[in-house]
Amino acid sequence: MSFVPLSLVTYAPLVVAAFLVALITVSLLVPHVRRFALRVNAVQVGGAEHGVGRRQHEGTIPNVGGLAILGGFLLALLAGSVVAPGLLDAFRVELLAIVLGGSIVALVGLIDDVYEVPAAMRLATHVLAAGILVVNGVTIDFITNYFGGAPYVFMPEVLAIAITLVWVVGFTNAFNFIDGLDGLSSGIAAISSMSLLAVALQFPERGASVLILAALAGAALGFLRHNFSPAKITMGDSGAYLLGYVLAAVSVLGALKVTAAVTVVAPVLILAVPVLNITQVTVRRLRQGLNPATASNDHIHDLMRRRGRSPRAIVYVLWGATLALGVLGMLLSQTPPVLLLATVVAAVFLIGLVSYLRLREVDAERSRALAHAAADRTGVQ
C-alpha cells in the first residue's frame, strides 16, 4: 500500500463538499429547530422521571435536535452527489437504502421524542429499516479467515441476514443508550465517522461510504457546536437513532465487507464504546430482573458520575476512549501513518474548536446576563 492512498486525492472534493455542507447546515438549522421545539413544547425536563431513573440534566431543554442533523445530513449527501456523481455509481442503490432507512428511524424517533412510541413499535421500525438494507444487498456475508486457507469465510445467506439485522438494530439502540451527557454522543459520532472514513479512503469504489461518513462527521460536529455542555438542545431519539443506524449501516457497506487489508475487527473497535455500554447495561438489568429497554441511570457515564467525576470530565474520557479505539481500528486496517495522523489531528482540532466556540458563547451569554442584572439594580435601562 502506498504511503498516502491515491484514492484520497480522488475523494478530496467529495469529502470537503459533504463535510462542509453538513457542518454549516446543521450549525445554522439548530437555532431554528430549537425555537420550533420550544413553541410546540418538545422538551425534556431536567430531573424528571425516566423509566426507573431520572434525567440528569438541569433545566428544560429542547429534545428534537435530530431534525437539524437529518436536514444537514441529507443536504450534504445531495451536494456530494452533485460534486462527484461518478464516484457513487458502484453503490448507488445501497446509498439510497441507507438514506431511506435512516430517515425512517429518525422520523419515528422524532414522534417518540414528542409523544412517546411503545418500545415494541420502535424496535419493529428498526428491524424494518435494517431489512431495507438487507433486501438491497447491504449484508455481512463474509469475514476475514485468520486460520489459513481461503482468505475469507463466506456465511450462509440466512446467517448473513440474521447477523446483519442484529448488528444494525443492536447498534442503533446502543448509540441511543450512550446519549446521556451533553456533547457525548455527538462527539463519539464525529470521532467514529472520521475513523471509519480513514479506513474507507484507502480503497477505490468506496464512494458511497466516503460520502456518508464525511456528511455524518460534519453533521455531528455541527450539532456539537450547540450540544456541548451546557447544551442548548439535545438530539433526542431522532438524532441518536439516525446516527446509530447510519454508522452501523455504513460499517457494513464499507468496512465489514472486507478486502485483504481490512479486518472485520476494525469497525467493531471504532464503534466499541456504545457497544460496551449497551452490553453492560443489558446484563445489569437482566440480573436485576428489569426489562433491558427500561430506562435507568446505569450507563457507563452514570457509573462514572457516581464515582465523583464531573459530567464534562466524563465526556472527555469517553471521547478519548473512542479516539484511542479508533486509532487501534485504523492500525488493524493498515491505514497509512499520514492518513492516521491526519485523522487524529483533525478529530482533536475540530472537536476542540466547536467545543471552544460553545464555551465562548456561554461566557458571552453570562456576561450579558450580568450586565442586564447590574443595569436593573442601578435603574439604567
pLDDT single digits (tens) 328-340 = 999 988 888 999 9
**Structure confidence by residue, pLDDT tens digits, 30-46:** 999 999 999 989 998 86
Close Cβ partners of 102 (under 8 Å, ≥ 6 residues apart) = 70, 73, 129, 242, 245, 246, 249
Res. 309: pLDDT tops 70: yes
Does some domain include residue 347?
yes
Asked whether the predicted pLDDT for residue 51 surpasses 70, the reply is no
Given a cut of 80, whether residue 96 has pLDDT beyond it is: yes
The answer to the question of residue 1 being in a domain is no
Q: How many domains does the chain have?
A: 1
In a domain, 240, yes or no: yes
Tell me which of 48-57, 127-136, 156-165, 240-249 is least confident: 48-57
pLDDT of residue 253: 80
366 belongs to a structural domain:
yes
Q: Per the domain annotation, does 361 fall within a domain?
A: yes
Element (H, E) at 135: helix 119-135
The mean predicted confidence, pLDDT, of the chain is 87
Q: What is the pLDDT of residue 50?
A: 63
Question: 156 by DSSP, 3-state: which?
Answer: coil
Yes or no: say if 253 and 98 are a contact pair by the CB < 8 Å rule.
Answer: yes
Task: Quote the pLDDT of residue 2.
Answer: 47
Asked if the structure places residue 258 within a domain, the reply is yes
Q: Across residues 296-307, what is the average pLDDT?
A: 87
Q: Are 245 and 129 in contact (CB under 8 A)?
A: yes
Across-strand partners of 53? 50
- The answer, yes or no, to whether residue 4 has pLDDT greater than 60, is no
- Average pLDDT on 184-188 reads 97
CA–CA separation, 340 and 337 (whole Å): 5
Contact 91, 253 (CB under 8 A): yes
C-alpha pair distances (Å), 156 with each of 20, 139, 227, 272: 41, 11, 43, 26
pLDDT given at position 292: 83
pLDDT tens track for 192-238 = 999 999 988 887 777 889 999 999 999 999 999 999 989 999 999 99
- 302 belongs to a structural domain: yes
Q: What pLDDT sits at residue 54?
A: 65
Res 16: pLDDT = 95
Rg over CA atoms, the chain: 21
In a domain, 169, yes or no: yes
Say what the pLDDT of residue 39 is. 93
Query: How far apart are alpha carbons 270 and 331 in whole angstroms?
Result: 11
> Is 182 exposed, middle or buried (CB count within 10 Å of its CB: 0-12, 13-18, 19+)?
buried
Domain that holds residue 19: 6-378
**pLDDT at residue 6 is higher than 70:** no
Percent of the chain surpassing pLDDT 90:
59
Structure confidence by residue, pLDDT tens digits, 227-285? 998 999 999 999 999 999 999 999 888 544 544 334 557 788 899 999 999 999 999 88
Q: Which residues contact 65 (CB under 8 A, 6 or more apart)?
A: 30, 33, 34, 223, 226, 227, 233, 234, 235, 236, 238, 239
